[in-house]
Amino acid sequence: MPIKLPSFRPRRDAHPPDLWTKCPSCGEMLFNKQLDKVLRVCPSCGHHFRLSAEARIAMLLDHGSFAERDAGLESEDPLGFVDQKTYRDRVAAAQLATGMRDAAVWGTGAIDGRPVVVCVMDFGFMGGSMGAVVGEKVTRAAEEALATRVPLVVASASGGARMQEGTLSLMQLAKTVAAIERLRAAGVPFLSILSDPTTGGVFASFAVLGDINVAEPNALIGFAGARVSAGTIAQELPAGFQRSEFLFEHGFLDRVVDRPELRSEISALLRFLVARPLPVPLDGPDGDPLGLPSFRPLSFLSNLAERVLPNEVETGDAGNGPGTEPATAPGNGHAAGAIGPRPLRARSDPSDALSAPVVPAAPAAASASRDEPVEAPEPTLPLDPAFSTDPPAVPEPVRDVAEEIPHG
């Protein structure tokens, strides 16, 4: 009897998962190493594949600048949840597949030299679902950004709340929103990156609360799925519903940016939102970094006061005679400063202004010091008669010119 050997011929639709990837949009077969070099964006149609947290961090941050925080946090299974598997078994399988402790990683780093606090989610870990660990990491990232006043950048990729943790998972929505609200109240920038998919409780909490919300092309973004939404409202949904371009057209997003330009876009936004002090030159004279050892920004005010306002005011007794009184500030009686001589004398007759010749000012003595009072010329115009206490003088009678002509 002939022996039937098993067939080792691979199926037509089977490809080594570690070598090739089929684009779900255009069907093109893509070599994984080449796909990684172009940030996992299909060169034929521009489809954006999902990125791991490690690849996202390497794409966004300066090389070698990332320092992870709270790497040892793990979920506990507070409910002892069991479906087809226990919750602990699901977490262990996800950790083995991704090399992560949970669905989020946070830490500090830099983008083009500017310090940032970053938190990145990975959809490969149980669908990027948010449990107690993910909510805690997002909250701690926001608290670190608040404490150091450094911009926060969060890249979301999640299917929503983690049902295996029950109410503890739902509580993370309120906790993360409260942390982001404290950040907003303090004026610390928060940039949110929404990738495919960002749905459920993550969409309903911190993911859309950024000062700037940026999404990748054709990313699924929304609370409930399209099928559930259509069944709830009993209406046909418009084309492109819950895609990033649709949300951008309707004002729910600020930008839709291709992945190769995402880093430069975030860097430009940081330049607009965060002021970085310029370096101070160190080659100034006498150890002065600006090279202006004698510069005093307000010194011109004191010099101007010395030139314009002398030391004392000559006012006289009740304004009627010579005298010297210090100038006082109104309302408190304290001396406001000495200002120089300014003799004020009222004329007895306001009509003298019509006949009085204009007397040029006499030049001050060359030896006179700035601190010594200098006699000022008599004013050419009289004061208002209302301010004079002297009675007006009686004008002389007009003489007849004809009487002065001798008669022959």
pLDDT, one tens digit per residue, over 70-84 is 999 998 898 999 999
Whether 104 contacts 52, CB under 8 Å: no
Strand runs labelled E in 216-263: 221-222, 255-256
179 and 32 share a domain? Answer: no
pLDDT per position as a tens digit, 179-197: 999 999 999 999 999 999 9
Report the pLDDT value the prediction gives residue 293, as an integer from 0 to 100.
Answer: 47
Domain boundary among 273, 303, 326: 273
Distance CA 217, CA 49 (A): 11
Q: Across the strands, what pairs with 192?
A: 154, 213
User: Is residue 39 domain-shared with residue 66, that is, in the same domain?
Assistant: no
Examine the domain organization and report whether 160 and 193 are in the same domain: yes
Give buried/exposed letters for 154-193 (b at 16+ CB in 10 A, else e). bbbbbbbbbebbeebbbebbebbbebbeebeeeebbbbbb
**Cα–Cα distance measured from residue 339 to residue 269, given in angstroms and rounded to the nearest whole number:** 55
Residue 306 is assigned to a structural domain of this protein: no
Its domain, for residue 199, covers 50-273
16 in the same domain as 95 = no
What is the pLDDT at residue 76? 86
Residue ranges with strand state E in 53-208: 67-69, 104-111, 114-121, 152-158, 190-199
- Give the Cα separation of 166 and 81 in Å (integer): 9
* Residue 154 and residue 255 in one domain: yes
Claim to verify: residue 254 and residue 175 sit in the same structural domain: yes
* Any domain includes 290: no
Q: What is the largest CA-CA distance in the chain?
A: 180
**36 and 67, same structural domain?**
no
Question: Residue 216 and residue 194: Cα distance in Å, rounded?
Answer: 7
Specify if 311 maps to a domain.
no
Q: Which of 249, 273, 297 is the last residue of a domain?
A: 273
Residues 118 and 16 in one domain: no
Which of the four pLDDT bands, split at 50, 70 and 90, describes residue 117? very high
Alpha-carbon torsion (91, 92, 96, 99), positive or negative: positive
* pLDDT at residue 336 is higher than 50: no
Residues 163, 100, single domain; the answer is yes
Residues 231, 91 share a domain: yes
Segment (H or E) for 335? strand 335-337
Banded pLDDT at 236 (limits 50, 70, 90): confident
Whole-angstrom CA distances from 403 to 395, 396, 407 are 20, 17, 9
Helices (H), 5-123: 32-37, 53-60, 87-98
Grouping H, G, I as helix, E, B as strand and the rest as coil, residue 110 is: strand
Question: Per the domain annotation, does 199 fall within a domain?
Answer: yes
Does residue 323 lie within any of the structural domains?
Answer: no
For helices 262-273 and 53-60, what crossing angle results, to 10°? 60
Q: How many domains does the chain have?
A: 2
Distance CA 70, CA 151 (A): 19
**pLDDT single digits (tens) 276-327:** 655 555 554 454 444 444 445 455 455 555 555 555 444 444 444 444 444 4
Question: What residues contact 109, with CB distance under 8 A and at least 6 apart?
Answer: 57, 60, 61, 62, 65, 66, 67, 115, 116, 118
Are 42 and 173 part of one and the same domain? no
